[in-house]
Structure 1
Amino acid sequence: MRVKVTIVCKQCGERFVLRGKRDRGRIETGFKQCLCNNKSHFDIEELPF
């Protein structure tokens, strides 16, 4: 199932809107890290596509 995901960095406030795939309760977007090198502190919101 395709989903739209909004990722907001808690360190710098940068916002990313990505498409992802829901598989077994997990969402895969390919997102690795923010532009500020943050790899773990994010707010993630899922929206139906």
Structure 2
Amino acid sequence: MDEARIKVSIRCRLCGEKFVLRGRRDGGRVDTGFKMCLCNNTDDFEIEEMPV
């Protein structure tokens, strides 16, 4: 069976852009495939997990 998916809200703390993605729990972390914001920010994000 497939791993449980969760919805993740990612907000860039530099420009304020918001992304809502689906991800999978991989051990203790969540993998969404998200790498970088439109403003080239790669590490300053506010991340919130939401139930699907």
2:24 to 21, 45, 48: 21
1:1-49 equivalences in 2 (<5 Å): 1-49=4-52
Q: Which runs of 4+ in 1 moved over 6 A?
A: none
Deviation at 1:20, TM superposition (A): 0.1
Q: Deviations over 1:6-47 (max 9, x none)?
A: 000000000000000002111000000000000000000000
Q: Quick check: which has more Rg, 1 or 2?
A: 2
RMSD: 0.5
Structure 1, unpaired ranges of 5+: none
| Structure 2: runs of 5 or more not aligned | none
Instruction: Give the structure-1-normalised TM-score.
Output: 0.96
